[in-house]
Amino acid sequence: MSNITTMIAEGRGKRLYATENPDEAVVYYRDETFAFHGLKRGRIIGKGEINNLICEYMFTLLTEKGVPNHFIKRIDNRCSLVKRVEMIPFVVKVRNIAAGSLARRMSVPDGTKLRNTVIEFNLKDDELEDSMVNVTHITAMQLATPKEVRRMEQMSYLVNEILSECMRDINIELIDFRLEFGRYKGQILLADEVSPDTCRFWDAATHEPMDLDRFRHDLGDVAEAYRDVLHRLTGNVLKNTEEEM
């Protein structure tokens, strides 16, 4: 990790470091794993390396397809260089199939088909259990302008098209995912990560989860599933090494 100065933030499964360049930051991907608003914690050995490589693949693809994002380059196995954005304090969830909290809220089984894509906004606040908010809450609380929200929605639909196609090609169904955005020099950039920690991926043939749900619901073979996603995307057969603490 070169020219890193101080740690700016520590999130779920990642650390963010400042660099000597104020416009850039270094993301360090950890094996540490959180679920259910931090109530369940654990480690998935090698996850940090896998997610770093999956994010490199995803952000490179999204850049090629015209989605502005924070990714600059991968530095090593666990670190990537990104643009230092001002994070917007809510997330966008995009859902193609009902699962997780939507399935619970609507009282339908996981896997229920949806007539159209569902878009949700949630605060990033564990204590508030990431409360769902709508556009009028966001603008009333001045979390973002109406124009920014429209741009985030438009980018989220585009990401959904690109990722759904990419995953279909490797026999994985994109059930839903969560995106985070940031402001950078007057532009909205896709930030954070796009990985099995933030997406629901189901094997198209077996409908087996290949994502954090394996950890959430103690389904076993968590690292194996993440590694399989990476392998199908890139052909990379990664031998994981445990994170140095």
Residues in binding contact with ligand C5P, number by CB under 6 A: 13
Among 30, 70, 93, 227, the residue binding ligand C5P under the rule CB under 6 A is 93
C-alpha 15/C-alpha 79 separation (Å) is 9
Q: How far is the CB of 11 from ligand C5P (least distance, A)?
A: 10
Closer residue to ligand C5P (CB): 19 or 80: 80
If one asks whether residue 74 binds ligand C5P (CB under 6 A), the answer comes out as no
Listed ranges 70-78, 92-100, 137-145, 231-239: which one lies at the site for ligand C5P (CB under 6 A): 92-100
Closest CA to 199 of 207, 211, 189, 215: 211
Tell me the H-state helices in 73-145.
Answer: 100-106, 135-140
Q: Is 178 in the site for ligand C5P (CB under 6 A)?
A: yes
Q: Which is nearer to ligand C5P, 144 or 212 (CB)?
A: 212
Q: With beta carbons less than 8 A apart as the criterion, state whether 63 and 57 touch.
A: no
For ligand C5P, the binding residues in 26-65 under the rule CB under 6 A are: none
Chain length of the chain:
245
Per-residue DSSP letter, 167: H
State in angstroms the smallest separation of the CB of 195 from ligand C5P.
9
Backbone torsion region of residue 55, taken as left when φ is above 0, otherwise alpha when ψ lies between -120 and 50, otherwise beta:
alpha
Give the whole-angstrom CA distance, residue 15 versus residue 30: 8
Select 19 or 228, whichever has its Cβ closest to ligand C5P.
228
Residues making contact with ligand C5P (CB under 6 A): 93, 99-102, 130, 176-178, 198-200, 212
